[in-house]
Amino acid sequence: MTIAVFPGSFDPITLGHVDVAVRARTLFDRVVIAVAHNSSKSPLLDAETRVRLAAEATSHLDGIEVATTDGLLVDFCESIGATTIVKGLRGGADYDVERPMALMNRSITGIETIFLTGDNALSHIASSLVRDVARHGGDITSYVPPGVSTAVLDALEHRS
Ligand code: PNS
């Protein structure tokens, strides 16, 4: 059985993330979306909410699961027998951010990262932009799975 981990902050999960997970599933028997801690970010949504939203967004998809980890990503990969990390690339700027992480993860344990290009029609969608649009009163429902918009608006309301 081949297992891949698709890690990220998922703050919140978007249609772009779901697209990458589905593409990864065509290459691996199991794809585990890992809601992880990025020490350079302060998430809007708590980890529990991010996991719940990712699980709801993928519950209809066979072979795609959601987990959370607050330690080293490579340790999590090892703990579940994953051989590969999967990341989505929207463009060159993503590659510039992802390349050092891929090299570091390989340097620590030898685990490889593969990059998938998502649907071009979704390439403008980023969690940071989704949060910003919502923060300024815009409608984010066409960028995120059902239920995510409500959770983001709730979190924004509690934060203000
Ligand atoms: O969606 P993001 O914020 O770009 O995802 C980055 C993430 C969470 C995958 C990365 O920060 C991560 O792997 N965090 C877990 C801790 C870890 O392993 N850090 C070393 C990364 S080389």
Number of domains in the chain: 1
Could you tell me if the CB of 12 is within 6 A of ligand 1?
no
Q: Give residue 138's pLDDT.
A: 98
Could you tell me if the CB of 99 is within 6 A of ligand 1?
no
Q: What is the DSSP letter of 124?
A: T
Q: Give residue 56's pLDDT.
A: 98
pLDDT tens per residue, range 35-47: 999 999 999 999 9
Rg over alpha carbons for the chain, rounded to the nearest Å, is: 15
Confidence of residue 160 (pLDDT cuts 50, 70, 90): confident
Q: How far apart are CA 115 and CA 98, in angstroms?
A: 9
Share of the chain above pLDDT 90, in %: 99
Alpha-helix runs per DSSP H in 38-91: 47-58, 73-80
Which of helix, strand or coil describes residue 139?
coil
Residue-range definition of the domain harbouring residue 54: 3-159
Q: Does the model's pTM come out above 0.85?
A: yes
Which CATH number covers residue 78?
3.40.50.620
Active-site amino acid positions: 17, 41, 90, 127
Mean pLDDT of the chain: 97
